[in-house]
Amino acid sequence: MFTNATVDHCEVPNQVTYEILAWLMTGEFTLGLPLNLSVLYIFVFRFKFWKNKSVFLFNIVVADFLLVACLPVKIYHYWHKQRRSTNNATCKAMLFMLFLNRGASIAFLITLSIDRYFNVVHLGRRNFVKVMKKSPQISIVIWLLLLPLTIPMMINTFECCNSHGRQAETYSHNVTDTFREVVFFTQIVIPFVVLVYCTVRIVNRLRKKTVGEKTKLRRAVCVVVYVVVVFSVCFLPCAVARAALLTVRLNNWQDAEDVAVQVYDGLMVLSYTDCLLDPLVYCFCNSGFKDVYISTFCPAFIQKRLLNVDFGLGGGATTSSGARTASLPIISTQKL
């Protein structure tokens, strides 16, 4: 198989655009590395996630941390006027990591939202997600199930995310590219549809409840609405841009493709802000995490003010000798 050397290359179509994107990723890395390291520290050493039934949240932390670890490589390539590494192994390894981490983030976020849905809309029925949360082995299974979805990237050379029409037209090439694109879109579109459905059902449930029952329902609404926002900001735009890129590519509109490539890469960079937004999911899902994080890393003079912010979760601090101190009331998803 041979790539079309006239159009299939890894050089950036506009140097200024990619310098700006490199600066943006530098900012994401600068903010994301200490944030995710601190969150990882809290989950492991202070919060003890395995005891607080927060295994799924911990897996989102791991996925975000691995994503942050990939950013320096992408920054290096953008600064050197390349969309991807010209080294085949490095290119494939980066795409493997990015797709795996994105798939893991989406899988665990959608699982948390489904758990909220069952605990609110189908309260009293057996919740299979609640059973899954209690077993760390289930998380390992989810990671393993995501691995086959990255196999198409390992079969053929596809520098720069090039797809249909970029290599000699063969049956194997078309099947591989088609499967890769199907995986890319379905792992975003289908979860988003599920999230919207869960959100609508939970909101409708909230409207039908009496005043005394609305507090915990608002917590559930906060979780699913915020996850929808994360999807809308981080994942949906790059899916739309990918569809536009494929359209102009298949129609051989080269000038339009140069623009579409820049838009797509820019929105992919935007999607990396997921590693900065996810910590709010942890606060929505468990007020105990918020209290421990604030009491560990925030200066004492602002702890009182931040501990009063409950993200709609209700209580999370106790009063002792007239002073407010952080406690660990575990308000996890199984209580909703």
| Contact in structure between 245 and 264 (CB atoms under 8 Å) | yes
DSSP output for 149-163: GGHHHHHS--GGG--
> What span, in angstroms and rounded, lies between the C-alpha atoms of 195 and 232?
11
Q: Show the tokens assigned to 101.
A: 């981490």
> What span, in angstroms and rounded, lies between the C-alpha atoms of 264 and 155?
23
Give the pLDDT confidence score for residue 126 in this predicted structure: 64
Give the pLDDT confidence score for residue 55 in this predicted structure: 84
Report in angstroms the alpha-carbon separations of 38 from 62, 130, 227: 12, 27, 21
- Counting residues of the chain whose pLDDT is more than 90, the rounded percentage is 20
320, β-bridge pairs = 323
pTM for this model (two decimals): 0.81
Residue 314 has φ and ψ, to the nearest 5°, of 80, 165
- Intra-chain end-to-end CA distance of the chain, in Å: 55
- Other C-beta atoms closer than 10 Å to the C-beta of 161 total 20
Give the pLDDT confidence score for residue 99 in this predicted structure: 83
Fold of 15-282: Rhopdopsin 7-helix transmembrane proteins (1.20.1070)
Cα atoms found within 13 Å of the Cα of residue 168, Cβ hemisphere only: 5
Please identify which residue in the block is written with the tokens 């393993």.
144
| Contact in structure between 143 and 104 (CB atoms under 8 Å) | yes
Give the pLDDT confidence score for residue 49 in this predicted structure: 79
Give the pLDDT confidence score for residue 213 in this predicted structure: 60
Q: pLDDT of 55-85, one tens digit each? A: 888 899 999 999 999 999 999 989 988 887 7
| Contact in structure between 150 and 84 (CB atoms under 8 Å) | no
Angle of helix 55-79 relative to helix 136-146, nearest 10 degrees, comes to: 30
> What span, in angstroms and rounded, lies between the C-alpha atoms of 311 and 280?
9
Q: What angle do CA 234, 113, 313 make, to 5 degrees?
A: 100
Angle of helix 214-230 relative to helix 171-208, nearest 10 degrees, comes to: 160
Give the pLDDT confidence score for residue 37 in this predicted structure: 93
Residues of the chain with pLDDT under 50: 1-8, 157-159, 161, 211, 313-336
235: helix, coil or strand? helix
Question: What's the DSSP call for residue 209?
Answer: S
Give the pLDDT confidence score for residue 164 in this predicted structure: 56
